[in-house]
Amino acid sequence: MKPAWDKVMKNFNKEGGSGLVADVDCTAAGKELCNANGVRGYPTIKYGDPNDLQDYKGGRDYDSLMKFAEENLGPSCGPANLDLCDDEKKAKIEEFMALSASDLQAKVKEGTDALKAADKTFEDAVEELQNTYKQLQEDKENTIKEINESGLGLYKAVLAHKKSNDEL
């Protein structure tokens, strides 16, 4: 995917400056930025307002990436571009703009905390599932070992021998 991404960055970024395609190394200097934006796996593609990045779920080849960039990147509805918003979104933005900075910070913290809680719940449940899977796998292996050690192989051999002698 990296060659396709590099080609999209080169071609899209030179076309007029209405949007930006870039990459961040989440294992080095960009680690804090990636953590702040919920990047958990690599490669992850995010798009949209830098303060409200969304997950990209489309194709990873050059044509898919470039088409998405051309159709979706650039100015979009938001506080800086109200003229691009529909009436419903514009009303919501105006409602939020009327809030004080401390009220907005409280709403952001509330939402961020809820996202963290959902992520923690998910991670805990996955860990529990992994532990259950590990235990079931161990139980299965122990049962197979016990059955095989109890003489299953010999039972099979004796049965096959008796069948072959009965046919004679």
- N residues, the chain: 168
Domain coverage including residue 40:
1-75
> Does one domain contain both 48 and 106?
no
* DSSP bridge partners of 47: 54
List the one residue out of 63, 65, 62 whose CA is nearest residue 19: 65
80 in a domain, yes or no? no
86 in a domain, yes or no? no
> Does one domain contain both 43 and 113?
no
pLDDT digits (tens, 9 = 90+) for 46-96: 888 777 888 888 898 989 988 888 888 877 888 988 998 999 999 999 999
Amino acid identity, position 130: Q
**CATH number, residue 47:** 3.40.30.10
Query: Mapping DSSP to helix (H, G, I), strand (E, B) and coil, where does residue 54 land?
Result: strand
89 in a domain, yes or no? no
Instruction: Give the model's pLDDT for residue 17.
Output: 56
94 in a domain, yes or no? no
pLDDT digits (tens, 9 = 90+) for 3-57: 887 777 777 776 555 667 777 888 888 888 888 888 887 788 888 877 788 888 8
> pTM to 2 decimals?
0.57
